[in-house]
Structure 1
Amino acid sequence: MKNSVQDSTSSLLKAVSEKNATLVAKILGTQPNLEIKDSKGRTPLMIATYNADSKIAELLISAGADVNAQDDLLNTPHLYAGASGDMSILKMSLANGANFDVYNRYGGTALIPAAEKRHLEVVKLLTEIPGYPIDHVNRLGWTALMEAIVLGATGETQVDIVKVLVDAGADVNIADHDGVTPLQHAKNRGMDKIVKILIEAKAH
């Protein structure tokens, strides 16, 4: 019996990697270990998340897969879905116990890379969650607001993301490790619209 369980568990990793939802569903019927990890520390759900395979992710999450299990890169399904703009898997992770104090390899939340990578819908979704750590500072010394300004690509989406963060109550005066504030960075980069938003929010 033990061997058959091990076989079904290793088969699960393979079926998920091959995006075979029918086979995944069949294997789940044998109650395999959902938290088995491959050579990179990825659970079946993490693999499905990297594949942006929401159908298989839904099967695994419904079966009880952990949305907070970290792989060797310290990604979790929740963190990676947020960082990559995968709204489907992100929403599933939020509905199934995503922890906001599990951080990526930069010591950050899902919101910080989402703000940098211009995933406006992700930023909107996360900032609407009561108690979400909007002002969390990662190991680089940056909040989501700071990262949107320092690393975000210039354009209207970047402006919209800054506005969403400010409207959600982000602290506009949290400086980086060098003591430079978001307003100073925005001024240095000639981001006039963002400068205006920050000044109206009492930035200094």
Structure 2
Amino acid sequence: MDDRNRRLLTAARRGDAGEIRAALDAGARVEARDEELRSPLLLAALGSHVEAARVLVAAGADPNAQDRRHDSAWLVTGVTGSVPMMRVLLPAGPDLALRNRFGGVSLIPASERGHVAYVRAVLRETEIDVDHVNDLGWTALLEAVILGDGGRPHQEVVALLLAAGADPELADADGVTPLRHARRRGFDALAALLADA
């Protein structure tokens, strides 16, 4: 690997915005890749290095560039739940329909993990598909119920998804609805939200 590209990747991993600028000025490629095919922007997103990402976006970095695991800078925002990173990437034109290795869009892991602020922001500030179905046959609503713990954050996520028009009748591959999953798991608060939807 070219030393300039290695320097850029290292700076992105550390979140050193000044060093990123210097590496780019020295001729590093903004779309350089490491051994896992991670781009500088993906490395910055993984570390929630917002200023580093801002420099890379200004230099034309692609928010949709995917690594060996099919992660991209945009998709990673759903995992980390970073609203500031999401907002830095939006001007770069991320593909809201880009799928991760499970066939999901960024809203799905965010819902699973109970990232309330991210779910609120991505629903309000983008046209992301609230009813996208991943390879497991699950929507964001199903993931919030099936993989969540039924606590306050997941209750807020479910309320946000429903308010954004999520279909509470969209069942999983076995025909089980979010409401039935909530009742099976003893999540009374979630069940009440879904029953009223």
TM-score range for the pair, normalised by the shorter chain length:
over 0.9
* CA displacement at 1:118 relative to structure 2: 0.8
* CA displacement at 1:191 relative to structure 2: 1.6
Q: Could you tell me how far apart the structure 2 residues matched to 1:135 and 1:100 are? A: 13
Residue 46 (structure 1) aligns with = 42
Q: Could you tell me how far apart the structure 1 residues matched to 2:190 and 2:14 are? A: 44
Give the conservation status (yes or no) of the 8 Å contact 2:46–2:80: no
Question: Which whole-Å deviations, capped at 9, do the CAs of 1:126-168 have from their partners, x for residues lacking one?
Answer: 2124532100000111000000000012211111110110011
Residue 31 (structure 2) aligns with = 35
* CA displacement at 1:29 relative to structure 2: 2.1
- Which is greater in Rg? 1
Q: Which amino acid aligns with 2:46?
A: Y
RMSD: 1.6
Q: Which amino acid aligns with 1:164?
A: L
Question: Which whole-Å deviations, capped at 9, do the CAs of 1:4-29 have from their partners, x for residues lacking one?
Answer: xx432232112223433322111222
* CA displacement at 1:31 relative to structure 2: 4.5
Instruction: For residue 40 of structure 1, give the secondary structure of its aligned residue in structure 2.
Output: coil
Q: Which 4+ runs in 1 deviate beyond 3 A?
A: none
Q: Note the residue ranges of structure 2 that are not aligned, 5 or more in a row.
A: none
How many percent of aligned residue pairs carry the same amino acid?
38
Kindly indicate whether residue 110 of structure 2 is the aligned counterpart of residue 126 of structure 1. Answer: no
Query: Which moves more between the two structures, 22-31 or 66-75?
Result: 22-31
Residue 81 (structure 2) aligns with = 85
Distance 1:76 1:193, change over 3 A: same
Residue 191 (structure 1) aligns with = 187
* CA displacement at 1:115 relative to structure 2: 0.4
- Report the count of equivalent residues: 197
Residue 106 (structure 2) aligns with = 110
TM-score normalized by structure 2?
Answer: 0.94
Correspondences of 1:41-190 after superposition (within 5 Å): 41-129=37-125, 131-190=127-186
Give the conservation status (yes or no) of the 8 Å contact 1:118–1:161: yes
Q: Which amino acid aligns with 1:107?
A: G
TM-score normalized by structure 1?
Answer: 0.91
Give the conservation status (yes or no) of the 8 Å contact 2:159–2:193: yes
Give the conservation status (yes or no) of the 8 Å contact 1:118–1:157: yes
Q: Could you tell me how far apart the structure 1 residues matched to 2:15 and 2:123 are? A: 32
Q: Could you tell me how far apart the structure 2 residues matched to 1:142 and 1:126 are? A: 19
Q: Could you tell me how far apart the structure 2 residues matched to 1:187 and 1:148 are? A: 14
